[in-house]
Structure 1
Amino acid sequence: MVKYFKKGVKTPEKINSNQQVKKTVEEILSQIEKGGDHALRTISRSLDSWSPDNFRLSDLQIAEIIEEVPIGTRKDILFAQEQVRNFAIKQRSTILDLEVETLPGVFLGHKNIPVEDVGCYIPGGRHPMVASSHMSIVTAKVAGVKRVIAFTPPINGAIPKATVCAMHFAGADEIYIAGGVQALAAMAFGTESIKAVDMIAGPGNAYVAEAKRQLFGIVGIDLFAGPTEILVIADDTADAEMVACDLLSQAEHGPTSAAVLITTSEKLAQETVSEIERQLKLLSTAEVAKIAWKDNGQIIIVNSDQEAVIEANSLAYEHVQILTKDPHFYLDNLTNYGALFLGPETNVTFGDKVIGTNHILPTMKAARYTGGLWVGKFLKNCTFQRCVPAASAMIGEYAVRLCELEGFAAHEAQAALRVKRYGHLL
């Protein structure tokens, strides 16, 4: 039987917040669609105190910015990007084109064609999300995308230099300094100075996630990657220090971040609450993490690993950290998650920053129907077919009867014409 040792914020508060986010996003998207560059500048000035002569950085500006980034930082960025690139290349090698003869003279196949224009959003806000440059831009380039543009917001009125460095190293063809919903709108609709893209990728806050939801159809999107979520599944072999540390690692992202512990040990649940209080006193980002834990933190006590799987699959969280005596049980049995971190030797931070798997992952229960960003998201699996004449006539006879069954006269005529032309070959 499931027991809630700690619950998060009340549902009506979340609903009210979501409604306000939706309304705000609608207004900004409408302004950018109608007003183009002028609207982008007006909103950027109002929200970010940012109104440069040109939102796009020139090659000279990029070169000067990179020179100001310490060499050690540049090396760290390149190391992380190499890990992401290596894994993406391995993933790409598993995606194969196909052509097969399914019946004598009938050939079916598919090609994996890269999206041509992609816009990558690199969040900023409280912290420069340098690693998001690797995850979206590098992955798109490995997939074969011809044009990748990237937006990132200014931070406290200044260009985030390390992020720009990462965007450039990752292979961005155009780099813009602008943030939030207005940046996604500019990429989707295009403006007088920005060519619209075919697809948008990248994580962000609740406003960015809602903007992607509203823009879907106008452009493609990678997935809904809103405020971060972490689920820790732990048993009596885990220690409270590590559990608390892992939960707070994502709670510090923002006040809407969700952190949940599912455990078979009530003792661990009690110790974790105390340990979180202790660590919050030492954490420089405690002001944010404390609110996230208070409003969105949960502790759920279950009776067994099997019951933990049921609860975890229902949550369908972005990050799932396994701290149990048999982590592979969860690898074998969990079905709804963005990324899985097996055992105490690994953690979400490794995945977020450097190990090579992608950190742009589904949130808000989207893990029920999609995985995270990978090269396959930037590829269109497009089918084709061809027939030899005799096969065309043979398939045509079936098609004629099936079209007649459904009452589609023009469809029937199309099939019948092939039977008429090639039927003598049967």
Structure 2
Amino acid sequence: MASVSAPKSLQGSLEYVKAPQRDNIGDNSQVIELVTTVLKDVRERGDAAVRDYSQKFDGVSLDQFEVSPADRQHAVDQLDKQTRADTEFAIENVRRFATAQLGTILPLEVEPLPGLHLGHTVIPIQRVGAYVPGGRFPLLSAPIMTIVPGKVAGCDEVVACLPPNAHKAMVAGCHLSGADRIFLIGGAQAIAAMAYGTDSVPAVDKIMGPGNAFVNEAKRQVFGPVGIDQLAGPSEIFVVADSTGNPELIATDLLAQAEHDVRTRVGLITTDKALAEATLKEVERQLRDLATAEIAGESWKNYGEIVLCADDAAMIAYSDHVAAEHLQVHTADAHGFAKKLRNYGSLFVGENASVVYSDKNVGTNHTLPTMGAGKYTGGLWVGSYVKIATYQWLESDAIRAVAPAAMRQSDSEGLEGHRKAAAIRLERLNAVA
């Protein structure tokens, strides 16, 4: 199980109190062929293929994929008062945090040499696609996380796709979050439609949002002609804890994520054997009464793990190896310990910082890297919706400074055209002088 096995340097410092039974990365291999077929078909047949796959996979046949303005408003009107208030509370928190983040992404212009002006500008992506998973439950926060940052960033158009059998409240969430267009298309066919465009769905420049293994694989395959935010697969949560950890809290948080999907990966990394054993018992106890135990229990059985580490150094090293999507820190000095960790999607410092708050409404984005991607990237944020594009312009002093070196370098590389492009400007400048 390559995705969960420890590096050789740590193998003598770890003991599995509960080992995972399956590898959720290797389990993705079976979807590749099917996704390849779906993408090719949608690219060639457009709406007709999308309609066929919607019928095949979702059991829904639609004459029109786009949700009309009247149906959008009807979905909002059907929300009960408290659900709408809670949704708008979450939207405002996400908007507030995204706006603060955007304020840190500043244009730049410097003059490193006299007359040499270098800079970058911040350009919103023109059209983005937001995939909104339907899943087993109506995840009302899902559209907020993918749509609101795009509107804050200033994208011209945010196109949302969600499965046709998704709860109507999800349509309302897309509308309230500011989606310019909403389409009832799910799965790999939605990714194909947004990537290639159809008669109904406009081609987008970048696709955002998490999904199941089929959505994830589709995003991987279309990357290139269109951008993607990241490969955000089934959810993950790990907790790093010392002897001060509370097994009831830890078990509760592990199962809260495990109920997302039968492929969710959850785990505890600890230096305390008593806590490891108590947490194992507590998970089994809570599963007996959990309404979503059918899903959470399968996830726990197949992908759950509890790892006992020899010391703090091994605990940190193993956590960084896992690079969990959600990483909770339950140690005596949680803030101090958190500073020693470097690989994760989002960090939850102290036992009060449950993943559920970020999942729902505090304002940080819940679309995060999984399957070890936290080693090289962070999660979805407002910066994902803009491009940082450089520019330069030169005055006479700068040409005199850089042209001779550029000519010599081009000459040494055997690139005569490059040398001439630098030389002609210097020659024209000298002729005027």
TM over 0.5, shorter chain: yes
Partner Cα distance (1:85, 1:418) in 2: 48
- Partner of residue 4, structure 1: 16
Shift of 1:154: 3.0
Shift of 1:303: 2.3
- Partner of residue 253, structure 2: 246
Contact 2:329 2:338 in 1 (8 A): no
From 231, 239, 244, the counterpart of 1:232:
239
Contact 1:234 1:264 in 2 (8 A): yes
Change in Cα spacing, 1:394 to 1:423, as seen in structure 2 (3 Å) is: farther
Partner Cα distance (1:32, 1:364) in 2: 28
Partner Cα distance (1:25, 1:411) in 2: 44
2:46 paired with 1:36: yes
Partner Cα distance (2:73, 2:163) in 1: 19
Could you report, residue by residue, the CA deviation over 1:22-68 in whole angstroms, capped at 9, with x for unpaired residues? 11111111111111000000000111111122110100111111111
Shift of 1:398: 0.9
Contact 1:209 1:224 in 2 (8 A): yes
- Partner of residue 293, structure 1: 300
Partner Cα distance (2:219, 2:152) in 1: 23
Could you report, residue by residue, the CA deviation over 1:108-138 in whole angstroms, capped at 9, with x for unpaired residues? 0000101000000010121122211111100
The code of the aligned residue for 2:293 comes to: A
The code of the aligned residue for 1:199 comes to: K
Partner Cα distance (2:283, 2:22) in 1: 21
- Partner of residue 71, structure 2: 61
From 389, 414, 429, the counterpart of 1:422:
429
Change in Cα spacing, 1:389 to 1:248, as seen in structure 2 (3 Å) is: same
Contact 1:200 1:219 in 2 (8 A): yes
- Partner of residue 74, structure 1: 84
Where 2:122 maps in the other structure, the secondary structure is strand
Partner Cα distance (2:381, 2:137) in 1: 24
Where 1:149 maps in the other structure, the secondary structure is strand
Where 1:333 maps in the other structure, the secondary structure is coil
- Partner of residue 129, structure 1: 139
Contact 1:394 1:419 in 2 (8 A): no
Further displaced range: 39-48 or 63-72? 63-72
Partner Cα distance (1:125, 1:391) in 2: 58
Contact 1:201 1:221 in 2 (8 A): yes
- Partner of residue 366, structure 2: 359
What percentage of residue pairs aligned between the two structures are identical?
Answer: 45
Where 2:339 maps in the other structure, the secondary structure is helix
Shift of 1:272: 0.8
The code of the aligned residue for 1:2 comes to: L
Q: Within 5 Å, give how 1:81-100 maps onto structure 2.
A: 81-100=91-110
Partner Cα distance (2:397, 2:274) in 1: 73
The code of the aligned residue for 2:97 comes to: F
Could you report, residue by residue, the CA deviation over 1:219-258 in whole angstroms, capped at 9, with x for unpaired residues? 1001111100101111111111011011111111111110
From 47, 55, 59, the counterpart of 1:49:
59
- Partner of residue 200, structure 1: 207
- Partner of residue 281, structure 2: 274
The code of the aligned residue for 2:123 comes to: I
Where 1:236 maps in the other structure, the secondary structure is coil
Where 1:399 maps in the other structure, the secondary structure is helix
Contact 1:390 1:423 in 2 (8 A): no
The code of the aligned residue for 2:304 comes to: G
Where 2:218 maps in the other structure, the secondary structure is helix
Where 2:50 maps in the other structure, the secondary structure is helix
The code of the aligned residue for 1:335 comes to: R
Shift of 1:10: 4.2
The code of the aligned residue for 1:135 comes to: M
- Partner of residue 3, structure 2: none
Could you report, residue by residue, the CA deviation over 1:132-157 in whole angstroms, capped at 9, with x for unpaired residues? 111110001111101001011133xx
- Partner of residue 147, structure 1: 157
The code of the aligned residue for 2:18 comes to: K
Partner Cα distance (1:258, 1:347) in 2: 16
Contact 2:237 2:266 in 1 (8 A): yes
Shift of 1:424: 5.4
- Partner of residue 393, structure 1: 400
Shift of 1:393: 2.8
2:175 paired with 1:168: yes
From 207, 229, 250, the counterpart of 1:222:
229
Q: Which runs of 5+ in 2 are unaligned?
A: 1-12
Q: Which runs of 5+ in 1 are unaligned?
A: none
2:339 paired with 1:324: no
Q: Within 5 Å, give how 1:404-423 maps onto structure 2.
A: 404-423=411-430
Shift of 1:187: 0.6
Q: How many residues align?
A: 421
Contact 1:394 1:423 in 2 (8 A): no
